[in-house]
């Protein structure tokens, strides 16, 4: 798996030579952001899972900033944010709302947002604000709880899977050495 990711991700020297990334400064040229090991990969995936639930186009920005701070694998974190997409966002937000409703003890019900229809923009905006206020607290708390759960689970899953892979590779190497060693 490591070889697969290394084949498709640039190294820090390539990034530092790119003029677009050079404008962003030295933080993006740090080798830890581009190095792939089980620790940076686990942090990168966890950051990507957490930031994937940030609304709107701020997912990658949040993941990038968090990777710079945590020295996690940046390409893996950015790629992981794509688990939220038009097909998964509604079930994820519904799950977050349900979790938030359970945590807060709210009796709010998940309803679809109001449609614009023939009403004026002001009336529709007011209806939209009322809709958001009704979902607000359970959804916001649910998103935080769900993001934290997904991040923790994915962090440990990557660590466990990577360790299992390493142990399997060591066993295979020992078996090859034992087969070639004369007795």
Region label for 56, one of left (φ > 0), alpha (ψ between -120 and 50) or beta (otherwise):
left
Residue 14 pLDDT: 65
Looking at the chain, the whole-number percentage of residues with pLDDT higher than 70 is: 78
pTM: 0.74
Is pLDDT of 38 > 80? yes
Structure tokens at 93: 């937000």
Identify the band that residue 37 occupies on the pLDDT scale cut at 50, 70 and 90: confident
**Alpha-carbon torsion 71, 1, 147, 157, what sign?**
negative
**d(Cα 30, Cα 21) in Å, to the nearest integer?**
12
**Count of domains for the chain:** 1
Average pLDDT, integer, range 145-166: 95
Residue 148 pLDDT: 97
**d(Cα 86, Cα 15) in Å, to the nearest integer?**
30
Measure the CA angle with vertex 56, ends 50 and 59; round to 5°: 35
- Domain hosting 81: range is 2-180
How far is C-alpha 99 from the chain's CA centre?
19
Average pLDDT, integer, range 116-141: 76
**d(Cα 26, Cα 13) in Å, to the nearest integer?**
11
């Amino acid at each position: 798996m490591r070889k697969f990711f290394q084949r498709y991700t640039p190294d820090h020297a390539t990034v530092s030579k790119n003029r677009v990334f050079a404008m962003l400064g030295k933080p993006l040229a740090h080798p830890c952001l581009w190095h792939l090991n089980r620790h940076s990969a686990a942090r990168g995936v966890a950051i990507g899972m957490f930031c994937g639930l940030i609304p709107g186009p701020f997912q990658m920005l949040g993941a990038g900033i968090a990777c710079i701070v945590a020295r996690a694998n940046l390409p893996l974190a950015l790629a992981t944010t794509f688990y939220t997409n038009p097909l998964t966002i509604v079930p994820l937000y519904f799950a977050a709302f349900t979790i938030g409703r359970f945590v807060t003890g709210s009796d709010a019900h998940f309803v679809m947002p109001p449609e614009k229809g023939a009403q004026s923009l002001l009336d529709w905006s007011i209806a939209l604000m009322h809709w958001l206020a009704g979902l607000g607290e359970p959804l916001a708390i649910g998103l935080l709880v769900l993001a934290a759960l997904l991040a923790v689970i994915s962090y440990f899953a990557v660590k466990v899977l990577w360790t299992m892979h390493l142990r399997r590779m060591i066993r295979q190497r020992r078996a090859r050495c034992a087969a070639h060693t004369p007795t």
